[in-house]
């Protein structure tokens, strides 16, 4: 277990405060009407300090997605080693989504100006998940299976999440849709015409 020093804890707390403030302001005023200056003022830091943590207001807002993806990967890594990859992913998703801020996720997914940052988060977390899958299976990170599995699973979960966010928040429905998409992946997506 890594011990985090006081200075690092303060930096993490400031980053989290900036992320939460950016989202709170975006929920209140809309993404386009929030400025870096407002986020910094609400967090009681200098604008220059803001840029030590994030390159833009959009990156700060999407940091919630990055935090959730990191939580998902952490949950996946914490699952029993003998559990199959797709089951471990399903359980990790269910755990993380049960405590997610649905309103903030809806804002992030629906704001077109946040799409480039969301895609960047997905790309970096896809690589991290592939590494976690490789570790779980004792494979080299260069093997094809972990990369394909991570890319496919995260894309499938993104589709489920975006569809789910278009409906009233119902975690049972999210669980059902997650089960369905994991089932599709497990079956290999093979379908034939009747």
Domain boundaries, the chain: 58-186
Residue 172 has which token pair?
A: 């049972």
Beta carbons within 8 Å of 80's beta carbon, 6+ residues apart: 88
Contacts of 156 (CB under 8 A, 6+ apart): 181, 182, 184, 185
How many Cβ atoms sit within 10 Å of the Cβ of residue 88? 21
- For range 72-101, the mean pLDDT: 90
Nearest CA to 54 out of 3, 103, 117 is that of 117
CATH fourth-level superfamily of 58-186: Tetracycline Repressor, domain 2 (1.10.357.10)
Mean pLDDT of 185-194: 74
- Find, among 130, 134, 113, the residue nearest to 122 by Cα: 130
Alpha-carbon distance of 145 to 150, in angstroms, equals 8
- The reported pLDDT for the residue numbered 2 is 64
**Is the predicted pLDDT of residue 106 greater than 90, yes or no?**
no
Tens digits of residue pLDDT in 36-70: 999 999 999 999 999 999 999 999 999 988 888 89
Q: In this predicted structure, which of 25-39, 49-63, 68-82, 152-166 has the lowest mean pLDDT?
A: 152-166
Taking the C-alpha atoms of residue 1 and residue 154, their distance in angstroms, rounded to an integer, is 27
pLDDT of residue 97: 82
Cα–Cα dist 57/46, whole Å? 14
Provide mean pLDDT across the span 80-106: 87
Structure tokens at 123: 């790309």
pLDDT number for residue 194: 66
Q: Is the pLDDT of residue 136 over 70?
A: yes
């Amino acid at each position: 277990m890594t011990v985090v020093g006081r200075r690092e804890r303060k930096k993490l707390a400031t980053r989290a405060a900036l992320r939460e403030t950016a989202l709170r302001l975006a929920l209140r005023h809309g993404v386009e009407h929030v400025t870096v200056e407002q986020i910094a003022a609400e967090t009681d830091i200098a604008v220059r300090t803001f840029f030590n943590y994030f390159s833009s207001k959009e990156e700060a807002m999407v940091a919630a997605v990055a935090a959730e993806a990191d939580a998902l990967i952490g949950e996946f890594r914490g699952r029993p080693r003998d559990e199959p990859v797709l089951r471990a992913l399903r359980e990790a998703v269910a755990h993380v989504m049960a405590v997610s801020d649905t309103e903030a996720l809806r804002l992030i997914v629906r704001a077109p100006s946040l799409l480039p940052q969301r895609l960047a988060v997905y790309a970096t977390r896809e690589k991290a998940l592939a590494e976690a899958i490789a570790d779980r299976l004792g494979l080299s990170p260069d093997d094809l299976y972990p990369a394909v599995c991570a890319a496919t699973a995260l894309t499938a979960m993104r589709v489920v999440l975006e569809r789910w966010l278009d409906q009233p928040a119902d975690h049972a429905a999210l669980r059902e849709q997650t089960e369905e998409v994991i089932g599709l992946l497990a079956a290999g997506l093979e379908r034939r015409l009747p």
